[in-house]
Amino acid sequence: MYVAKCKHGENFQEGSIVPFADFHISPCAAVLHYGQGLYEGLKAYRTEDGRIIIFRPDQNGLRLQAGADRLCMPYPSVDQFVSAIKQVVLANKKWIPPPGKGTLYIRPILFGSGPILGSFPVPEYTFLVFACPVGRYHKDNSGLNLKIEDKVRRAFPSGTGGVKSITNYCPVWKTLAEAKAQGFSDVLFLDAATGKNVEELFASNIFIVKGNVVSTPQISGTILPGVTRKSIIELTRDFGYKVEERVIPVEDLLDSEEVFCTGTAAIVTTIASVTFKDKKSSFKTGEKSLAAKLFATLTDIQMGRVEDTKGWTVEIDRSHQG
């Protein structure tokens, strides 16, 4: 894993690769008491011809910076971020699954590691990157069955829903667990201001399709600006669809022809049905769906099966693979 530390008032310097292991942290660390922490997520892919590719790491680096600014933390430059990702991938290249068998999931984290109790500023910050092999996040190829949560909200205006704060996730674990116990795949959350508009799933963005128009909730501070979301918007426009980033009332979702979600883990996953207040609505699925076409196109780029004309992929230099 990669570890770099930074004192208050200073900038992050080059870190180092060390064996993956537990590390010591003060019981007074800011991350433990005040939740001052962020994480990112991206993947490394092994191609059919033996190359190793990562997908748009600069976008994760920029998002980390935005989140760090929101949580009052210093942050590595985008170049430092991408360099750390490359170093971790190379150090763990034997764990990258063969093509089609999975990917190497990379988890960068940035947090207040220095001791603080009732005062400010935090004396030290840690930027750490580790990785592990993973398979498909959603294994049900027939599509997800979502529950629209009409009581609990994931994020609120002026909060941290628009950044990958570690505080965004466990508050809705209970809601997710209850939905899964009822047989649902995931939860779709509504906006806190009105409770009438869809926002996102537990850890992925949502898209709806009606005719030649594809819509996704606009970035407004409560929705995470997903890297996959951004890529899918561009690919969808390439396919000739009109893409709208807008407020999406629940009624528009229920009236749509097709629904899918996107994310680093989800990639592009079809949503087969949505249940809202005990009423179930079903949507188009299968190989002829837009979601299936987008999944194939995106993964072809990520896996190096087609030429990357967009400059999204970064190949780990073979000369450094050892």
Report pLDDT for 289.
Answer: 96
| Span of 28-37, 90-99, 132-141, 213-222 with lowest mean pLDDT | 132-141
Asked if pLDDT for residue 159 goes beyond 60, the answer is yes
C-alpha 166/C-alpha 73 separation (Å) is 14
CB 222 within 8 A of CB 156: yes
C-alpha 306/C-alpha 301 separation (Å) is 6
Strand, coil or helix: 110: strand
What is the identity of the amino acid at 63? R
Active site residues: 164
Report pLDDT for 127.
Answer: 98
| Polymer length in residues for the chain | 322
**Residue closest to 55 by CA, chosen among 18, 90, 82, 16:** 82
Element (DSSP H or E) covering residue 298: helix 290-302
Report pLDDT for 189.
Answer: 98
CB 155 within 8 A of CB 223: yes
Asked if pLDDT for residue 321 goes beyond 50, the answer is no
| pTM assigned to the model | 0.95
Report pLDDT for 319.
Answer: 47
Residue percentage of the chain with pLDDT more than 90: 94
Strand, coil or helix: 166: helix
Residue appearing with tokens 């530390």: 5
Q: Which tokens belong to 138? A: 């959603």
C-alpha 195/C-alpha 250 separation (Å) is 9
Per DSSP, helices labelled H in 39-181 are 57-70, 78-91, 173-181
Report pLDDT for 116.
Answer: 96
pLDDT band, very low/low/confident/very high, at 138 (cuts 50, 70, 90): low
pLDDT band, very low/low/confident/very high, at 177 (cuts 50, 70, 90): very high
C-alpha 284/C-alpha 143 separation (Å) is 10
Asked if pLDDT for residue 46 goes beyond 70, the answer is yes
Across residues 114-138, what is the average pLDDT?
91
Asked if pLDDT for residue 220 goes beyond 90, the answer is yes
Q: Which domains does the chain have, with CATH numbers?
A: 2-134 (3.30.470.10), 144-303 (3.20.10.10)
C-alpha 117/C-alpha 78 separation (Å) is 31
DSSP string for 220-271: SSSS---HHHHHHHHHHHHTT-EEEEE--BHHHHHT-SEEEEEETTTEEEEE
Q: Which tokens belong to 61? A: 């680096």
∠ CA 274-276-282 to the nearest 5 degrees? 30
Read off the DSSP letter of residue 308: -
Q: Write down the mean pLDDT value for the chain.
A: 95
Report pLDDT for 318.
Answer: 57
**Residue closest to 211 by CA, chosen among 270, 256, 268, 262:** 256
**Residue closest to 21 by CA, chosen among 132, 166, 130:** 130
Asked if pLDDT for residue 128 goes beyond 50, the answer is yes
Q: List 275's β-bridge partners, or say none.
A: 147, 280
Cis, bond preceding 121 (omega within 30 deg of 0)? yes
Report pLDDT for 136.
Answer: 76
* Cβ within 8 Å of residue 27, ≥6 positions away: 115
Residue percentage of the chain with pLDDT more than 70: 97
Asked if pLDDT for residue 249 goes beyond 50, the answer is yes
Asked if pLDDT for residue 322 goes beyond 50, the answer is no
Read off the DSSP letter of residue 97: P
Across residues 85-108, what is the average pLDDT?
96
What is the identity of the amino acid at 91? A
Pairing of strands 279-282, 124-134: unpaired
Q: Which tokens belong to 125? A: 């910050």
